[in-house]
Amino acid sequence: MSPEQARGVFGKDLKVKVKKEGQRTFFQNFIKKPAPNSLSGVRAIYLRFFDGGLYQIEIFYENRSDWQTLENFIGDFSARTNLTAMKIENDKAEINCGEFSIAADKVLNPRIELTNETIRAQVEEIRERENKKN
């Protein structure tokens, strides 16, 4: 998904600007101003791109009274998205769907992370090479 396509999904109010090459992260928080209607209940969002394509979405939600525990949060998320139950271990819920993974936790705010694992592995490999050069 390109930055333009991401803008179409998340709403035109989200000003996603990312260069087409390399690794880029778009971040927007909604602490001082409310989130657009398409992101109602969202506190912050990270969109991570590699070579112009989206490979990871990380969403932090506002705390809600019905999400007191991680189990409540992922139960609601699973029901709304028709996803199978996520395995909870060490205060983190995860499900691996082959090339894609979904992780959730509630360390600060309820958080969901959707990742293309193939591209994440490429990005990590590039970072390791860059770190060895420095």
**Segment 5-39, tens digit of pLDDT:** 777 777 666 666 665 556 677 888 888 888 888 88
Question: Domain range for residue 22?
Answer: 3-133
pTM for the whole structure: 0.85
Tokens 């998340």 belong to residue: 10
Which strands form 92-97's sheet, in the order they lie side by side? 23-29, 42-50, 53-61, 111-116, 100-105, 92-97, 87-89
Q: Residues 49, 56: contact at Cβ < 8 Å?
A: no
Total domains in the fold of the chain: 1
